[in-house]
Amino acid sequence: DTSLTEVNSFSPSVPISPSSMINQYKFEDEPELRDLFITVDDPESHITAIETFITYRVVTKTTRGEFDSSEYEVRRRYQDFLWLKSKLEEAHPTLIIPPLPEKFIMRGMVERFSDEFIETRRKALHKFLNRIADHPTLTFNEDFKIFLTAQAWELSSHKKQGPGFLSRMGQTVRAVASSVRGAVKNRPEMFTEMNNYMETFSQKINLLDKIAHRIYKEERDYFNEMKEYGPIHTLWSASEEDIADSLKGIASCIDRCCKATEKRMAGLSEHLLPVLHEYVLYSEILMGVLKRRDQIQGELDSKVDALANKKTEKDLFSEEIGKLEDKVERANNALKADWDRWKQNMQWDMRSTFTNVAENNLRYYEE
C-alpha cells in the first residue's frame, strides 16, 4: 500500500535490480562518523537453585568524552535489558523506544534455551542496543551509559534507587489517562493523522507477520517430507536393477531441492520473520507513545477548563498552565522529530527486507 510507505515509485520501463533499488534509498541524516560501537555476543547459561537464565556479553567501544574509558565489557541478562527499556520510557515518554524481544519470542517455533532461541534473542538484543546508540537523544541517556559500563553489583545497586516516573504517576495524570479514551479535545491534526496511520499500519504489519509465519511453517513441513522422500528412492533403487540409475538420480535431485529449501527457510527465519515481528512490536510502542502524548495534552486541557470555572487562585492556575503548555510543546516536538526518523528507518527496513526475500527466492528457483 503506497499510502503507507510513501516511497517514490520507480519507472516500470527501466529494469532495476533489487540491490540497486536499495542503493537509491539513503538516510538524509545518516551520521558520517559513529563514536559508539556496541556488540552483544557470547551467551552463557547460569543454573541456580531458584532459576536458570542466560547472560550475554556487552562490549562497548567509544571515543566520547563523557566515558571514563574507551572500552567496556559487562555481562547482562534479559531482565537488565527490560530495566533499561523501562528507564528510557520513563525519561522520554514521547520518544519511540526500540522494542525488546518478548520473554518467549517465536513461541511454538523454537524451544526456550535451545541454541536457535538464544541466537535469535542475542541478535534482537544486539539490534536493540545499537538502535539506542544511533538515536540522537537516547544515546546520551545516563541509564544507558550505566547499563553499558557498570559492573553487575553497581547496576544492581543503581536499579534499587526507587521507582521511576511511570510507576509513580500522579493521581491527576492517572485520572486524565482514564478519561482520555476517545479523541482529545485540542489534539493537533498532525497527531490525529499519526494515530490513523498507526491503526492501519498495525493491521497490515500484523497480517504480514501471520502470513510470513504461515509460509515458514508450510516450507518447514515440505522440507521435513522431502528429507524422508530422498532416502526412500535410494533404498528403492537397491531392489530395482533396471531403473536403479533413474531412482538414484531422483534421490539426488530431491536432496538438492532439500538443501535449497533449507537455505530458503534460513533466509525467512533470519531476515524476514524478525523484522516483521519487530515492527509488530513497534506498532504497539507507537500507539503507547501517542497515548502518552494525549495524556499530557489532556492534563493541559483539564487545567484550562478548571481555570475557566475558577474565580479564585487564577494566578496559581495560570502558572501551572504555562508549565503544562511547555511540557506539551516539548512532547510534541520530540514526537514529531522521532516520528520522521522512525518512518524513514521503517521504510528502509521494509524495502531491504522484502528485496532480500525476493533475491533469495530467485536463487532458490534457479537452484
Contacts of 27 by beta carbon, 8 Å cutoff, 6+ apart: 344, 348
Question: Which CATH number goes with the domain that contains 349?
Answer: 1.20.1270.60
User: How many independent structural domains does the chain possess?
Assistant: 2
Contacts of 37 by beta carbon, 8 Å cutoff, 6+ apart: 60, 61, 62, 133
At position 65, the amino acid (one-letter code) is G
- On whether both 145 and 196 belong to a single domain, the answer is no
pLDDT score for 314 = 65
By the 10 Å C-beta count (0-12 exposed, 13-18 middle, 19+ buried), 123 is classed as middle
- Rounded Cα distance between 84 and 229, Å, is 49
Closest CA to 349 of 2, 5, 3: 5
pLDDT score for 183 = 54
Q: Are the CB atoms for 67 and 131 separated by under 8 Å?
A: no
User: CA of 128: how far to CAs of 9, 292, 302, 327, 359, in Å?
Assistant: 31, 22, 37, 28, 26
pLDDT score for 185 = 75
- On whether both 209 and 296 belong to a single domain, the answer is yes
Q: Which residue has the cell 504517576?
A: 169
Kindly state whether residue 115 falls inside one of the protein's structural domains: yes
Kindly state whether residue 173 falls inside one of the protein's structural domains: no
Kindly state whether residue 127 falls inside one of the protein's structural domains: yes
User: CA of 39: how far to CAs of 57, 133, 152, in Å?
Assistant: 8, 11, 18
Strand ranges inside the chain, DSSP E: 36-47, 52-62, 71-77
* Sign of the four-CA dihedral 353, 355, 357, 360: negative
Q: What domain range includes position 131?
A: 36-154
- Rounded Cα distance between 78 and 76, Å, is 7
Kindly state whether residue 53 falls inside one of the protein's structural domains: yes
Kindly state whether residue 167 falls inside one of the protein's structural domains: no
- On whether both 197 and 327 belong to a single domain, the answer is yes
- On whether both 216 and 347 belong to a single domain, the answer is yes
SS3 call for 59: strand
pTM attached to this predicted model: 0.79
pLDDT score for 265 = 94
- Rounded Cα distance between 188 and 199, Å, is 17
pLDDT score for 313 = 62
Kindly state whether residue 21 falls inside one of the protein's structural domains: no
Distance of CA 244 to the CA centre of its chain: 53
Main-chain dihedrals φ then ψ at residue 98, nearest 5 degrees? -60, 150
Any idea what DSSP says for residue 7?
P
- On whether both 124 and 218 belong to a single domain, the answer is no
Kindly state whether residue 14 falls inside one of the protein's structural domains: no
Q: Which residues of the chain, if any, have pLDDT below 70? A: 1-32, 103-113, 162-184, 310-317
- On whether both 320 and 219 belong to a single domain, the answer is yes
- Rounded Cα distance between 114 and 111, Å, is 5
pLDDT score for 316 = 65
Closest CA to 36 of 169, 161, 139, 187: 139
For residue 38, how many C-alpha atoms fall within 13 Å in the half-sphere facing its CB? 26
- List, edge to edge, every strand of the sheet that includes 71-77: 36-47, 52-62, 71-77
Distance of CA 202 to the CA centre of its chain: 13
By the 10 Å C-beta count (0-12 exposed, 13-18 middle, 19+ buried), 104 is classed as exposed
Cell triple for 23 = 542503493
Kindly state whether residue 24 falls inside one of the protein's structural domains: no
Q: Which residue has the cell 556487552?
A: 58
